[in-house]
Amino acid sequence: MSCFSLRARVEEHLRQIYGARETQELEAITDRLLSAMGLRAEAPCLGQGVEQPSQWSAADAYLISYGDSIYREGEKPLHSLYRFLKQELDGVVSAVHLLPFFPYTSDDGFAVMDFTSVNQTLGDWEDIEAIAGDFVLMADLVINHISSRSAWFENFQAGVDPGRDYFICRDPAEDLSRVVRPRASELLREVQTVAGPRHVWCTFGPDQVDLDFSNPELLVEFARIVHLYLQRGVRVFRLDAIAFLWKQVGSDCLHRPQTHEIVRLLRTLVLHAEPAALLVTETNVPSRENLSYFGNGNEAHMVYNFPLPPLLLHTLYAGDCHALSEWLMSMPAPPLGSTYFNFIASHDGIGLRPVEGILSELERDRMVAMVEQLGGRVSVRKLEGRVVPYELNISLFDALSASYQGSDPWQQARFLCAHCLMLALQGVPAFYIHSLLATPNDYERLLHTGNARSINRHRWSADRLAEALENSQSPQRQVLEAMRSLLAIRRQQPALHPNASQYVLQLGSEVFGVWRQSLGQHQTLFALTNVTDRVQCVSLHSVNLDAAVEWRELLSGVRLAPDQASIELQPYQSVWLSSL
C-alpha cells in the first residue's frame, strides 16, 4: 500500500474494512483514530517495518506469567513477581508477557471489566511500569470480547452510551451452524435490556460477550487503549483471540478479510506511535490459518507457533520425530521483519486444533488418553453437532513424566529435552513461568475453580518457592539452573538468531535435527536431539559436517576429534555442534 501521509494510509485501511461507508464518515473516523493515538494527521507515512530485518536477536527470550503467579502475604503480587524477575531472571529473559492484569470477572483475567485500570489486588500502573523499565513488556489486548459485568455491557442493557451499540445481537432462529468455536457452551445468551430480551453473541462463554467491530466506534475506543498501554511502557501487544473478531453470518466467522485489515490498521497505528512496538497474534487454529497472520509482512510481527506444543508432546511420547520433521519442512521462512513466537507451555492448555491435518485422529486420541492417564484433563468443543477434544490441560512437567512405553526415570531429561529442542528452532522462545519452575499439576486449584485450565495455573508462595530453589535436589532448582545455562549458551550463537536459516535434517525417526546458519553465514550450527529413551548413535557423515572445519559441542564445551565418525546421544540428550 503506497501513500504520502499517515492520514491517507489509515483512511485506506478503513475503506477496506467499511467499504460501503461514505467518504466523509471515513475521514471523520480517521481523524478520531489519529487523535486517540496522539498522532498528527499530516505526518509522513512510514513503511510497515519490513525494512528492518532484525528487531530481535538470539539473546531474546520471553517469560509468560500471571501477575499473581508468585505471592507473599501482605505484599502486592506484582511486587513479589518483580522481585523474582530481578533476582532469578535478570539477564536470563529479555521480555515478560504479563497476562491480563485488569479487573475481571472470570477466565483468570480474560473476561475484562475495565481495559484502562490495573486490578487492585495485583498492584497499580506504577508496578506495571517498574517491570516495563527492566524488561520488554508484553500485554494482552483482549479485543474480541469483554465481561458481561463491564460498564460497556451494562450500558448496552440500559440503552446508553458508551456501549449501547457495542455488541452483536442475533435471532436464535438464524442458522449459525457454520460458526467455528473453541467452546461447547451456547453461542447466544439471552439478556434483558430496556428494549426487551436480546440474544448476544458469546464465542467463549456467557461471561465473555463479543464486541461488534462493524461499529467503528470500537476501533476508536481500542486506539485509546493501545495509546494508554504505550504510555505505560507496553511494547508488545498480544492480540488475544483475534481470529474471531469479525462476524459474518453464513460464514465460519474466522479470519475474515476485515479481521486481517484491522490487524494491518493496528500495525500502522502502533508503528507511527512507537516504532519499537510489536504485534503478536494469538490464533489457536490449524497451521496454515495461523500463518496467514503474517500477511505480506504487514500484519503480525510474530505469530504464536501453536502446532509446536502438541507435536513435541507427540514426539516425546512416541519416541518418533517424523511428524515434527514433516511439519517443520512445510513451514515457510517468515517474511522479513517477522518471526515465530515459539512456546511449548502457556497459561492455556495444549491445543489440538493446530495439529489437524498433521496428526491422525488415532495419534491425537492416543495423546489424549495419555494425558488423562497422567492426571490431566481434556477440554472439548462442539463441531457439527458432536463434542470433540479441543485442549489438553496438564502441567508440562507432569505431562512429560512418562512416554507410551510407560513410567520411567526420564521425566526431567525429557522435560529439558523439549525445551532444548524449542531453543534450537527458528523464532523467539517463550517460557511459561511454571515450566521454568517445574511446577506439577495443581489439583487443589482445579477443585476450587472447576476450570480445567486451573490445573496449570498454580500460585507459588514466594517463601515456599525460595525454599525449593535453595534445595539443590529439588526439580525447581535443577530445572531453573538448566534453563539458565541453556539460555546463556543460546544468546551467544548468531546461528540461533530468530531469522537465521533453518533446514530440517533427515536422521531417522529417533533423532531430530536442524541445521541453522547465521544471517552473515559466520556460524553453522547443527542441533541434534535424541527423542527416545534409548541411546542413539548418529553418523557425523549423515549430518554432513565439513571435515575441514573444527567443531565444538556447545552444551558440554567438548571439541570433536578431527577423525570422529559418530556421536552418541544418551536418552533425550541434545547436542549443538558449532563451527569454530
Looking at the domain assignment, is residue 450 inside a domain?
yes
Give the list of residues 6+ apart from residue 90 with CB closer than 8 angstroms, or none: 134
Asked whether the beta carbons of 60 and 490 are under 8 A apart, the reply is no
124 is in an annotated binding site: no
Tens digits of residue pLDDT in 276-324:
999 999 998 888 899 999 999 999 999 999 999 999 999 999 999 999 9
Residues 189 and 137 in one domain: no
Radius of gyration of the chain (CA): 24
Query: What pLDDT does 21 receive?
Result: 82
Residues 485 and 419 in one domain: yes
How far is 344 from 44, CA to CA, in rounded Å? 41
Residue with cell 498433521: 358
Looking at the domain assignment, is residue 25 inside a domain?
no
Q: What is the residue range of 156's domain?
A: 145-210
Residues 432 and 288 in one domain: yes
Residues 245 and 338 in one domain: yes
CATH number of residue 190's parent domain: 3.90.400.10
How far is 397 from 3, CA to CA, in rounded Å? 51
Residues 268 and 335 in one domain: yes
Residues 427 and 506 in one domain: no
Looking at the domain assignment, is residue 380 inside a domain?
no
Domain boundary among 186, 210, 234: 210
Query: What pLDDT does 184 receive?
Result: 82
- In the chain, the percentage of residues whose pLDDT exceeds 90 is 88
Residue with cell 531453573: 480
Looking at the domain assignment, is residue 537 inside a domain?
yes
Give the list of residues 6+ apart from residue 168 with CB closer than 8 angstroms, or none: 200, 201, 210, 211, 212, 247
Query: What pLDDT does 48 receive?
Result: 53
Residues 227 and 89 in one domain: yes
Q: Which residue numbers are catalytic? A: 240
Residues 423 and 542 in one domain: no
Looking at the domain assignment, is residue 354 inside a domain?
no
Query: What pLDDT does 288 receive?
Result: 87
Please list the rounded mean pLDDT of every run of 10 residues in the chain (580 residues).
Answer: 77 93 91 96 68 76 98 97 97 98 96 98 98 98 98 98 97 93 91 97 97 97 98 98 96 97 97 95 90 95 97 98 97 91 96 95 97 96 81 98 97 98 98 98 96 97 98 98 98 96 97 95 94 97 88 96 93 95
Residues 428 and 526 in one domain: no
238 is in an annotated binding site: yes
Query: What pLDDT does 49 receive?
Result: 45
How far is 127 from 79, CA to CA, in rounded Å? 7
CATH number of residue 558's parent domain: 2.60.40.1180
Asked whether the beta carbons of 89 and 122 are under 8 A apart, the reply is no
Residues 566 and 475 in one domain: no
Q: Interhelix angle for 411-423 vs 308-318, to 10°? A: 140
Residues 563 and 547 in one domain: yes
Query: What pLDDT does 286 receive?
Result: 87
Strand order in the sheet with 377-383: 350-351, 386-393, 377-383
Domain boundary among 478, 493, 508: 493
Q: What letter would DSSP give residue 55?
A: S
Domain count for the chain: 3
